[in-house]
């Protein structure tokens, strides 16, 4: 059976976890069609994107840009047996959410239903907000089963009524953290939601051979790495405030990797704090470039927080990547981060929005290379034990009917 994966945008540097999942499922024999609601905006791609063989279908990003395509799709879809109930489903949603975005979702669903190849037997949405809406409407039009993967922002910024109804309609849904699963399971029919960690592909992030440096902040600067998009929920402003609190004589350097809408304002913030000369803003990097940064860093920092609109991280893959390279990690007790980082054993956790506590944690590890090394080794063991891609992917593969143990696992689920 061919499966259409509906994504918000493809390919995206910031969503390498989706690409690695698609590539791994293809290696297991799943025939995939990638449906993207948006065209790519990143100038580069990861190596894993070039390995994916799936055919691509781009839907109209804005309906007014392709009116004839949308009209043709509507003319075809309106003749479908299930058009009227699907239309009523959408109208019910529109009355509760009368926005242009809701109209666009149904228009995209019409195009998807009209242009979907006949050999596709299932739709699968990555993200519970917009992609799941388009998937749900298209599945209703065509009478196809659909499933989904929920991650972070899509969970915490989608209204409860919408999550409840999508969870009632889909056949099954997986999510990448225990925190997410607990939240969604309370809104869903029993057994509908399952935990499947993304995991890390150790073939792409093989453990570093070199031991950590002996830098302790008194001579050569200790290299602190942070990898994240420059958006509110990543807490980069809090990280900058924490770094500004470090003692004047302590020598450190922050390397930040990732792009985002707050880039200019955060660089201005660093300048106003007087720490701009200690920071290197690298922008968005490929996995290969990130691997090199992980291996030259001494310490990893991520100051995630709950944004004002409720958006928050799930379990940031960059923490797994950092730990795969034996890096000690300092992070916050937000969402599912404690599911990976065991405070005091495989990393250090502090409260969100607490630059003073974050500064103390950073200073302690900057001064203590032996402690960094011990935490890094424990973090690597944690990743190897519970967060390897292939082991976690097995559950998802079974749901798509793959693998020699699929029937046995389904019987015991």
| pLDDT tens, position by position, 34-70 | 999 999 988 889 999 999 999 999 999 999 999 999 9
pLDDT at residue 412 tops 50: no
Q: How high is the pLDDT of residue 1?
A: 79
Q: What is the mean pLDDT of residues 231-235?
A: 97
CB atoms within 10 A of CB 375: 27
pLDDT at residue 383 tops 90: yes
Q: What is the mean pLDDT of residues 90-98?
A: 98
Domains for the chain: give ranges and CATH numbers. 2-199+388-412 (3.40.50.2000), 222-386 (3.40.50.2000)
How far apart are the C-alpha atoms of 125 and 149, rounded to whole Å?
6
Query: 232 in helix, strand or coil?
Result: helix
The half-sphere exposure of 58 on its side-chain side, counting CA atoms within 13 A, is: 11
Output the six-digit token pair for 365: 């590890």
How far apart are the C-alpha atoms of 366 and 364, rounded to whole Å?
6
How far apart are the C-alpha atoms of 169 and 182, rounded to whole Å?
19
> 113-144, pLDDT tens digit by residue?
999 999 999 999 999 999 999 999 999 999 99
Q: Which residues pair with 252 in a beta bridge?
A: 222
Q: How high is the pLDDT of residue 405?
A: 52
């Amino acid at each position: 059976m061919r499966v259409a994966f509906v994504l918000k945008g493809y390919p995206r540097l910031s969503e390498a976890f989706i690409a690695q999942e698609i590539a791994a499922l293809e290696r297991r024999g799943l025939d995939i069609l990638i449906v993207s609601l948006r065209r790519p905006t990143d100038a580069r791609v990861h190596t894993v994107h070039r390995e994916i063989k799936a055919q691509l279908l781009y839907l109209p990003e804005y309906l007014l840009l392709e009116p004839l395509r949308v009209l043709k799709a509507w003319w075809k879809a309106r003749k479908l047996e299930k058009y009227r109930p699907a239309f009523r489903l959408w109208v019910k949603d529109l009355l509760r959410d009368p926005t242009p975005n809701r109209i666009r979702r149904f228009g995209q669903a019409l195009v998807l239903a009209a242009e979907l190849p006949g050999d596709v037997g299932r739709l699968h949405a990555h993200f519970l907000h917009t992609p799941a809406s388009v998937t749900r409407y298209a599945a209703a039009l065509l009478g196809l089963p659909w499933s989904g993967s929920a991650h972070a922002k899509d969970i915490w910024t989608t209204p409860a009524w919408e999550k409840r109804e999508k969870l009632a309609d889909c056949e099954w849904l997986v999510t990448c953290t225990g925190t997410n699963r607990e939240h969604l399971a309370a809104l869903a029919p029993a057994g509908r939601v399952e935990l499947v960690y993304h995991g890390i592909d150790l073939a792409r992030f093989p453990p570093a051979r070199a031991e950590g440096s002996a830098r302790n902040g008194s001579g050569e600067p200790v290299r602190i790495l942070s990898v994240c998009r420059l958006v509110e929920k990543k807490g980069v402003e809090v990280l900058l405030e924490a770094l500004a609190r470090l003692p004047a004589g302590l020598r450190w350097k922050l390397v930040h990797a990732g792009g985002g809408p707050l880039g200019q304002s955060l660089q201005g913030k660093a300048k106003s704090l007087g720490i701009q000369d200690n920071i290197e803003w690298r922008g968005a990097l490929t996995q290969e470039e990130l691997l090199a940064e992980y291996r030259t860093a001494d310490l990893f920092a991520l100051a995630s927080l709950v944004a004002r609109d409720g958006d928050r991280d799930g379990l940031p893959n960059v923490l797994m990547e950092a730990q795969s390279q034996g890096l000690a990690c300092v992070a916050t007790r937000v969402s599912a981060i404690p599911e990976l980082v065991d405070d005091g054993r495989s990393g250090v956790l502090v409260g969100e929005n607490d630059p003073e506590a974050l500064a103390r944690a950073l200073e302690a590890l900057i001064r203590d290379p032996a402690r960094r090394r011990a935490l890094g080794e424990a973090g690597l063991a944690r990743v190897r034990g519970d967060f390897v891609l292939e082991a976690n992917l097995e559950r998802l593969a079974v749901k798509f009917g793959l693998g020699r143990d699929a029937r046995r696992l389904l019987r015991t689920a």
